[in-house]
Structure 1
Amino acid sequence: MTDVKTNHLAGETSPYLLQHADNPVDWHPWGEEALALARREDKPILLSIGYSACHWCHVMAHESFEDPGVAQVMNDLFVNIKVDREERPDLDKIYQVAHSLLTQRNGGWPLTMFLTPEERIPFFGGTYFPRQPRFGLPGFTELLQRVADFYRERKDAIANQNQDLMRAMQAIAAPQRVEDAELSLLPLDVARRQLEEQYDEQRGGFGQAPKFPHPGSLERLLRHWQRSRQQDNSDDRALEMLTRTLERMALGGINDQIGGGFCRYSTDDDWMIPHFEKMLYDNGPLLALYSQTHAATREPLFARTAMTTADWVMREMQSPEGGYYSSLDADSEGEEGKFYVWTPDEVQAALSAEEYAAFAPRYGLDRAANFEGRWYPHVFRSPGDIAADLGIDTAEVERRLDSARDKLFTLREQRVRPGRDDKILTAWNALMIRGMAIAARHLQRPDYAESAERALGFIRNTLWQDGRLLATCKDGHAHLNAYLDDHVYLIDAILELLQVRWSSADMQFALELTEVVLKHFQADDGGFYFTADDHEALIQRPKPVHDDSQPAGNGVAARVLVRLGHLLAEPRYLDAAEATLRALWLPMEQNAFACTSLVDALEEFLDPGEAVILRGEADAIQNWQTDCAAACAPKRLCLAIPNDAADLPEALAEKRPQEETVAYICTGTRCSPPIRMREELRKALA
């Protein structure tokens, strides 16, 4: 048996990097060793950024990186660095921006960039390149030779281009500040209008394929509708756009109809065929949103969708130690979507005739194949219509469908599963902890709260070391400095979990994280950088403003600082939130729909939500807490603090226990007299 030769990735923890450890390419992880080698040999750096669940990353790897001939050219001409964008979002953000400036096209993965060895500034780049010329793209080997020749022969031109690129990147990294900006609620209406302009009237969602879920945009519609109701001017159109989109996604192929959980995006306008990878960072916010919208509408579909999502996460994505894994691949057995698709013969063999008679019209098996000659379940007909055709009642159709899904799920579990990226990322875990906590509260599911508690415990015990947070962990090895998102998402998640059950230790943890954010991430001119002040120096230190697949860290930071500032009467937090909103007012004013997390923070700063503090015996305050959770109130914080709770922050300790259960309702800096009757609390919350 011959030993498999490995490159410099063999000692890494990232599953994505380890997938490339036995490539003939002499890959290095990003680090001083590789950067020094490039400088010493005056070789340009070939920077390849991807992630484990990325389909086209796998395609490029099979075509080029596993080919000895291509690898030889790469090794001769470049220092080759492979980066997992999930572990190093700092590098990914920087070089995606550079790619868009250089090519005037959107980026993506795999990201392929060529950097100068001294400055690490990119002078050429792209995404996927085929081994042989196709899709209007040059062959990768030919491209490598041309790029290397250009580097050797045109260094002056590259230097001039690099200067222009860096000026553009610095302008993007530090948005222009409007010194005398007058903060107002105008961006709320601007975001609402801009979202409607992009809304797909027929199918829900925004824009055309590929269609992404955009949970932040949808939550903005939910908040806008909720605000309009409080002003006795209900914006039913905002609610319609929200619920139509959630309904179409829940019934579409982007939602795994057999096993639960959302795929990353739909490849078509109808939400039918997804890109099959499942990402933790999508499912956490969607779990929260479906739970909140169920609380607002009482629509059973939304509760059912939230529960199948949460159940999938606990079943397939939570480690025995408590942390949540990152993603599931799109591919299995070398084919995208193979795990998820069926033939009618397979389904008929697994189900009774009665079950198949309901399942086939419901999920389209009586229609033409919809995915490469096979069938992928997508809801086509309602149980009521099927019941009418079969001459049975709707409840019987629902029973048959439930039974059919259970049987097909059991059968599907016997297939070769898609690969799972089992690293545990702090930021993505925080998004799921928040989702689980909100679902636990609105759906009355204590098992979801227990799942969230286990994940938070893992982060605190493993990724919080010596007063600083780490970004990633695999197989017990935690490393890499945490980013802004890791900190502020986690603070947000803790605040949501505290609304399910009180923990003085968790509140203290949130405050420790907040102090780290203020000390190490805050910019002198307002707002927060993505990396800490003691992070590795890179070619750019951006302030995240716009939401992408995840909410912008500055928006979440401002919102949690507003909440904590009012809750704990801490002016430093409110000042930092205001400085952030003022520093980033211009992009928020111009592109409100792309900055919905900042708009949410602006709303809570200018029009604070209620903070409801319940004090009483632990058992007695549970019913009062249930009343708080019954309605959808995204701006409200409700904390049920038992009388015997110790180590409370001063502002909370001042809300003293009484002989019986009591509620204090505070809005901004104003608090109501104690409320001693449960019915009185219900009226106040209404």
Structure 2
Amino acid sequence: MIENGMHNKLAQASSPYLLQHKDNPVHWQEWSDEILALAKELDKPILLSVGYSSCHWCHVMAHESFEDDDVAKVMNEHFINIKLDREERPDLDKTYQLAHQLLNRQAGGWPLTTILDPKTLVPFFSGTYFPKKPKFGLPAFTELLQNISRIFQQKREEITEQNDRLSHALQTVATGTRSSQGESTESLAPEFVNSVLQHHDKRYGGMEGAPKFPQPAIWGASLSLLGSQALTDKQAEELKLAVLNTAKGFCHFGLFDHLAGGFFRYCVDERWDIPHFEKMLYDNGQLLSLVAATGHYFAEGQLMQAVDLTINWLKEQMLAPEGGFYSALDADSENESGKSVEGAYYSWQPKQFKFLAEPERVIATHYYGLKKKANFEGQWHLVAREDWREVAKKLKVHEKQAPILLESARQQLKLVRDKRPLPFRDDKLLTSWNALTLQGLLEAKRAGSKAVSDELINGCKSFMRHQVWKNKQLYACYKDGKAYQEAFLDDYGYLAKGLLLALSDRFTQVDWSWLKQICDTLWQEFADQEEGGFYFTANHHQKVITRHKSWSDDVMPSSSIQALEALWVVAELTGNMEWLEFVEKSLIKARAEAVNAPVQYASAVRLLEVWQQGIELWVIRGEGYELPQWQEYLTTGLNPNRWVFAIEHGANDAEIETKFPAKPGEEQTLRAYCCRQRQCFPAISDLANLKRFLQEK
């Protein structure tokens, strides 16, 4: 390839995000060894633009700059321009987001606009959104690029020195080598809970401030810690109220789509009133798990209704023919004038309610607050303004009639909205996000959701087994019948946790064998066997500047923690002492990293607490019809350190290879075997003894 022959190459891409830019006058390239070598040969800086298909500000920058001939001319003259879908290459996104944070001393985001030295791929400038003309206190994009090009030509020595420092800092921060070297696995629950309670928004739920993200890892950990012996009674009681208040905030206000179900990415205000309207699969998978578990624990029917609606939304708008789920719905869609604007699909005017019959119209108008001031650009984004019982009392509607009228109004409004142009759907399927959704579906089933089905669960599992698992190699992405991009830690870690939950729901030799293969790969390709923890990339992956190793949560839970939990449970089932020693070593490292900011390490705090309490492992063996009663008894309630696996008689012990084979003389009788805190107990043969055993522990 020669410089003058360059043109926009994105028409060849798989990513829907990259395809959105295939007609830009910018000579966009995909990230590849070939294009990196060309940039190095030409000694031309790389403009790396990172985003994703449902990102609102990515669209804004595209329309203002990347579709503009004058801007494109400057970009093409001075840079090798690479477009990157952060959902396809989370490894690169992690590296360059961290570099942005170190260069600017503030968090990044999308679009990410970063300029790389072609020889080292280390960025010497990084920003996010830039406008074509100066506004919001930001410079014009073309002037900025011309200045950067001039600096690159005139100040190479300074850039090299800065890049050396940044490269060292990236390697230090990305691998956690700054952490204090403590040797403790002591619980961090009290410190974590104190911080959560200090920053909890007691009025609206979630954490204080705006914009407001749901942060399911924090609240999932909070829920699991409610029974922690490390907490005072006062802490436990306040935390219980905070968890319930937060789950209600997620489901009652604007974060939730009240007509079709599903959660938006975040809200721009502290009241959970107005969301940023994209719907991401990873959010919905996590929030299914959290809201279902919370609804089940507190016996809150309205939370379970939100779970059921969200599952229905997944089936209606996100389910692919292969059984997995698509990635996202955009925030923008066409309004009545045919213009693409944010939130158009979800917004209403009171006159649009007139088709409803009077009882439904009146109760819906009060419930959604349409008598009050419009809350979104002259229109209404539907929010539950009042508790339905208060509305019923105010309108003198019988309590049994009110939910029926509201449900009738919801269904009719949804039918009208379904006729609107659907926001753009990113139709690639991501393994990690589908694995989180599998976890959510299984948690919803355990909580008693009416909408979830074994068919839906098995379809999601089947997609991952048959479409992205090839010759014992997992792939991260799937689109148009093709799996591509070798998987990362989040793909393996989330899938391993999902398979554990699936085995706890129904134990099959196929899933057990698959889980062991996944864990073997985690051990061989991702684990830092000497120091503990996992790298985000496999041993054989391309290394760009550094390999990341971290225990913190971000918009998704720590894949290191989910991978570690899977290895731990499999090690307990099989008696793998090497893995058990690795788990302890890793938790020491995780705690050392988490101790100064436990809320950022919620998943690690949760698993440290399980380590302190001791994992409780149950294997029930019996006939298929005998198992559910015992299994349900053991899995009811909040037991974050308990894993239950029910294995039918006739399973091949040689293939299962656990340390719980049916003993001679017990092959045809119902038995429960329990190990906890490195101690195994005699088999239990009747339910009364099982209940007595649990009461005595």
Q: TM-score, normalised by structure 2?
A: 0.95
Report the AA paired with residue 424 of structure 2.
G
> Which residue of 2 is the match for residue 375 of structure 1?
380
What stretches of structure 2 of length at least 5 have no aligned partner? 1-5, 335-339
Query: Mean Cα displacement is larger for which, 599-608 or 523-532?
Result: 599-608
Report the AA paired with residue 438 of structure 1.
E
In 1, the alpha carbon distance for the partners of 2:57 and 2:691 equals 53
> Which residue of 1 is the match for residue 566 of structure 2?
560
Matches within 5 A, 1:410-425: 410-425=415-430
Matches within 5 A, 1:79-158: 79-158=80-159
Select 1:435's aligned residue among 425, 440, 452: 440
SS of alignment partner, residue 483 of structure 2: strand
CA offsets 1:626-668 (integer angstroms, 9 cap, x no match): 2233323222211111102222123132567544322222214
> Which residue of 2 is the match for residue 246 of structure 1?
247
Contact 2:75 2:145 (8 Å CA) reproduced: yes
Contact 1:613 1:655 (8 Å CA) reproduced: no
Contact 2:187 2:608 (8 Å CA) reproduced: no
Report the AA paired with residue 562 of structure 2.
V
CA offsets 1:585-628 (integer angstroms, 9 cap, x no match): 32211111111111222222232232221111112212222223
Post-superposition shift, 1:266? Answer: 0.8
In 2, the alpha carbon distance for the partners of 1:303 and 1:97 equals 38
Alignment of 1:572 onto 2:578: yes
Alignment of 1:22 onto 2:30: no
In 2, the alpha carbon distance for the partners of 1:566 and 1:541 equals 29
Query: Mean Cα displacement is larger for which, 74-83 or 165-174?
Result: 165-174
CA offsets 1:372-404 (integer angstroms, 9 cap, x no match): 000111111112211222222122111110000
SS of alignment partner, residue 48 of structure 2: strand
In 2, the alpha carbon distance for the partners of 1:506 and 1:184 equals 31
CA offsets 1:96-144 (integer angstroms, 9 cap, x no match): 0100111112100000000011101101110000011000000111111
> Which residue of 1 is the match for residue 3 of structure 2?
none
SS of alignment partner, residue 82 of structure 2: strand
> Which residue of 2 is the match for residue 681 of structure 1?
690
Contact 1:339 1:415 (8 Å CA) reproduced: yes
Contact 2:613 2:641 (8 Å CA) reproduced: no
> Which residue of 1 is the match for residue 408 of structure 2?
403
Report the AA paired with residue 484 of structure 1.
L
Post-superposition shift, 1:683? Answer: 4.5
SS of alignment partner, residue 196 of structure 1: helix
Contact 2:171 2:545 (8 Å CA) reproduced: no
Contact 2:621 2:662 (8 Å CA) reproduced: no
In 1, the alpha carbon distance for the partners of 2:7 and 2:61 equals 19
> Which residue of 2 is the match for residue 540 of structure 1?
546
Matches within 5 A, 1:445-594: 445=450, 447-523=452-528, 524-594=530-600
Alignment of 1:666 onto 2:675: yes
SS of alignment partner, residue 546 of structure 1: coil
In 2, the alpha carbon distance for the partners of 1:168 and 1:136 equals 29
Contact 2:190 2:231 (8 Å CA) reproduced: no
Post-superposition shift, 1:449? Answer: 3.4
Query: Mean Cα displacement is larger for which, 286-295 or 168-177?
Result: 168-177
Number of aligned residue pairs: 681
Structure 1 pair 179–230 and aligned structure 2 pair: CA distance change class (3 A): closer
Post-superposition shift, 1:294? Answer: 2.1
Structure 1 pair 324–682 and aligned structure 2 pair: CA distance change class (3 A): farther
Q: TM-score, normalised by structure 1?
A: 0.96
What stretches of structure 1 of length at least 5 have no aligned partner? none
Post-superposition shift, 1:314? Answer: 2.0
Contact 2:308 2:449 (8 Å CA) reproduced: no
In 2, the alpha carbon distance for the partners of 1:34 and 1:269 equals 44
Report the AA paired with residue 366 of structure 1.
K
CA offsets 1:301-355 (integer angstroms, 9 cap, x no match): 2211211112211222121111111111111121100000100000122x11110
In 2, the alpha carbon distance for the partners of 1:441 and 1:492 equals 15
Structure 1 pair 582–632 and aligned structure 2 pair: CA distance change class (3 A): closer
SS of alignment partner, residue 652 of structure 1: coil
Structure 1 pair 419–655 and aligned structure 2 pair: CA distance change class (3 A): farther
Report the AA paired with residue 530 of structure 1.
F
Select 2:606's aligned residue among 589, 594, 600: 600
In 2, the alpha carbon distance for the partners of 1:232 and 1:74 equals 61
> Which residue of 2 is the match for residue 237 of structure 1?
238
> Which residue of 2 is the match for residue 622 of structure 1?
628
> Which residue of 2 is the match for residue 366 of structure 1?
371
Post-superposition shift, 1:15? Answer: 0.5
In 2, the alpha carbon distance for the partners of 1:398 and 1:25 equals 54
In 2, the alpha carbon distance for the partners of 1:528 and 1:629 equals 30
> Which residue of 2 is the match for residue 223 of structure 1?
224
Structure 1 pair 377–426 and aligned structure 2 pair: CA distance change class (3 A): same
Structure 1 pair 584–232 and aligned structure 2 pair: CA distance change class (3 A): closer
Report the AA paired with residue 391 of structure 1.
K
Contact 2:311 2:452 (8 Å CA) reproduced: no
Report the AA paired with residue 429 of structure 1.
N
Query: Mean Cα displacement is larger for which, 201-210 or 553-562?
Result: 553-562
In 2, the alpha carbon distance for the partners of 1:496 and 1:153 equals 57
Query: Mean Cα displacement is larger for which, 136-145 or 652-661?
Result: 652-661
Query: Mean Cα displacement is larger for which, 337-346 or 622-631?
Result: 622-631
Structure 1 pair 567–531 and aligned structure 2 pair: CA distance change class (3 A): same
In 2, the alpha carbon distance for the partners of 1:660 and 1:180 equals 50
In 2, the alpha carbon distance for the partners of 1:634 and 1:403 equals 38
In 2, the alpha carbon distance for the partners of 1:234 and 1:620 equals 40
Alignment of 1:48 onto 2:49: yes
CA offsets 1:156-207 (integer angstroms, 9 cap, x no match): 1111111111121121022237786332333121111111121112211113
Contact 1:6 1:23 (8 Å CA) reproduced: no
Alignment of 1:255 onto 2:256: yes
SS of alignment partner, residue 617 of structure 2: strand
Query: Mean Cα displacement is larger for which, 438-447 or 663-672?
Result: 438-447
Post-superposition shift, 1:232? Answer: 8.1
Query: Mean Cα displacement is larger for which, 607-616 or 74-83?
Result: 607-616
Contact 1:437 1:448 (8 Å CA) reproduced: no
Query: Mean Cα displacement is larger for which, 88-97 or 384-393?
Result: 384-393
Report the AA paired with residue 623 of structure 1.
Q
Post-superposition shift, 1:487? Answer: 0.5
SS of alignment partner, residue 8 of structure 2: coil
Q: C-alpha root-mean-square deviation of aligned residues, in Å?
A: 1.9
Contact 1:112 1:125 (8 Å CA) reproduced: yes
> Which residue of 1 is the match for residue 657 of structure 2?
649
> Which residue of 1 is the match for residue 328 of structure 2?
327
Post-superposition shift, 1:414? Answer: 0.3
Query: Mean Cα displacement is larger for which, 325-334 or 6-15?
Result: 6-15
Post-superposition shift, 1:289? Answer: 1.1
Matches within 5 A, 1:270-285: 270-285=271-286
Report the AA paired with residue 379 of structure 1.
A
In 1, the alpha carbon distance for the partners of 2:177 and 2:251 equals 40
CA offsets 1:495-550 (integer angstroms, 9 cap, x no match): 11112111111111111011111111122322111001100121111102211001
CA offsets 1:283-309 (integer angstroms, 9 cap, x no match): 111111111112211111221121111
Contact 1:50 1:111 (8 Å CA) reproduced: yes
Query: Mean Cα displacement is larger for which, 374-383 or 193-202?
Result: 193-202
Identity %: 39
CA offsets 1:70-93 (integer angstroms, 9 cap, x no match): 111111110000000001000000
SS of alignment partner, residue 46 of structure 1: strand
